[in-house]
């Protein structure tokens, strides 16, 4: 029987425990360039079995929020190299989350003020974070109306994922990458019927709607090696106005296609991201999903996420429900979360007013039980 605190091999990643830090958008990278403060933040949390960076845009078009980092410029790669060097010096392992937000963006964040892109011209019923140029203050604004990507543009999206994966590992020093195919962003938009109204080779059937996700994943595997690639999926979350008419067969098809790729891990958000774990109106069988992946030959570690506390995480690993458990907000306020979970110590409370934007306050100033 495995324990949450046992080591595990996830593809090419040798992890000292089964606790991952989930990707957490913090909006502290002005100009999309990682900072020294970010290096401090991640290195403080290096005792996690695996750190997954905040969502990192693969291109300017893929940017959806102000002051989130990118991977498409040399200054950005240099900034991330300082982060990964700091994490490795602290004994940690870190992968970056490759992100194209698709329609979840605003014209002020896009190249030359253009419309965001998506599978179809359907606006996301959500808001994004922008900076007021007059006051310098952040605020949330409704997303802009997107335009539908033409089919001839999609190879460029695939190529951008491949280049970002290669740059992340070979130049920025990451131990691997995670494709963000969850939470209503571009790859999830193509998957789900509520956002994808296409009638070409990338719309309609399950096979067609899954095509872009699978093409991007294969390209990342070719660029970085399957053992250094993970993927994040959210079958039923309504995040960013996303919905699918019948998610169970859709996601079982997706994981069966992912199984032969030799991925390091599959990262599943159970329920509504940051919200209820059970959605009565959207029932989903996560055990059947995992079984579909394993029966198709998938060997990657199975990572679960959303609302796990210490006891739930212990049971998930001991029962075989999961190989790794990802924690989000708890890692914001507890840089030494692994130590606290191992010893059953109380957790620091987080300050939601400091989640997005700002400086060190509410970012690198949370106390550890044993500082230093």
Residues designated as active site: 185
3-class state of residue 23 by DSSP: coil
- Residue 319's alpha-carbon distances to 6, 123, 310, 341, in angstroms, are 14, 41, 14, 18
Q: Is 361 helix (H, G, I), strand (E, B) or coil?
A: coil
Torsion angle of C-alpha atoms 232, 237, 243, 244, degrees rounded to 10: 60
Place of tokens 């403080």: 44
Cβ(240)–Cβ(192) below 8 Å: no
Burial class (CB in 10 A: 0-12, 13-18, 19+), 174: buried
How big is the chain, counted in residues?
372
Q: Which residues pair with 269 in a beta bridge?
A: 305
Phi, psi of 80 (to 5 degrees): -65, -30
Q: Look at residues 239, 240, 191, 244 and name the one whose alpha carbon lies nearest to residue 214.
A: 191
Dihedral of the alpha carbons of 254, 259, 263, 269, in degrees to the nearest 10: 40
Tokens of 120: 């179809």
């Amino acid at each position: 029987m495995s324990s949450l605190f046992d080591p595990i091999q996830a593809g090419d990643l040798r992890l000292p425990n089964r606790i991952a830090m989930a990707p957490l958008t913090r909006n502290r990278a002005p100009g999309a360039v990682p900072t020294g403060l970010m290096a401090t933040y991640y290195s403080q949390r290096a005792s996690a079995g695996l750190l997954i960076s905040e969502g990192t845009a693969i291109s300017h078009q893929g940017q959806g929020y102000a002051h989130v980092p990118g991977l498409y410029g040399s200054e950005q790669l240099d900034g991330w190299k300082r982060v990964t060097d700091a994490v490795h010096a602290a004994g940690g392992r870190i992968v970056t989350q490759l992100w194209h937000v698709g329609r979840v963006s605003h014209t002020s964040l896009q190249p030359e003020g253009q419309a965001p892109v998506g599978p179809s011209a359907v606006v996301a019923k959500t808001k994004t974070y922008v900076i007021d140029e007059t006051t310098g203050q952040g605020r949330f604004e409704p997303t802009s109306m997107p335009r539908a990507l033409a089919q001839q543009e999609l190879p460029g999206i695939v190529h951008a994922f491949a280049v970002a994966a290669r740059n992340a590992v070979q130049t920025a020093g990451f131990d691997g990458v995670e494709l963000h195919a969850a939470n209503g962003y571009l790859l999830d938009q193509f998957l789900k019927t509520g956002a994808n109204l296409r009638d070409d080779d990338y719309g309609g059937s399950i096979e067609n709607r899954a095509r872009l996700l699978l093409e991007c994943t294969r390209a990342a595997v070719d660029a970085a090696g399957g053992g250094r690639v993970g993927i994040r999926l959210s079958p039923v979350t309504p995040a960013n106005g996303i919905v699918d008419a019948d998610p169970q067969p859709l996601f079982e098809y997706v994981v069966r296609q992912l199984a032969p790729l030799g991925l390091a891990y599959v990262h599943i958000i159970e329920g509504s991201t940051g919200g209820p774990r059970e959605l009565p109106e959207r029932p989903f069988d996560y055990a059947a999903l995992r079984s579909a992946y394993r029966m198709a030959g998938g060997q990657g570690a199975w990572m679960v996420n959303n609302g796990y506390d210490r006891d739930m995480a212990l049971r998930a690993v001991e029962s075989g429900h999961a190989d790794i458990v990802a924690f989000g907000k708890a890692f914001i306020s507890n840089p030494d979360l692994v130590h606290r979970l191992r010893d059953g110590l109380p957790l620091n409370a987080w300050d939601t007013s400091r989640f997005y934007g700002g400086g060190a306050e509410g970012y690198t100033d949370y106390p550890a039980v044993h500082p230093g």
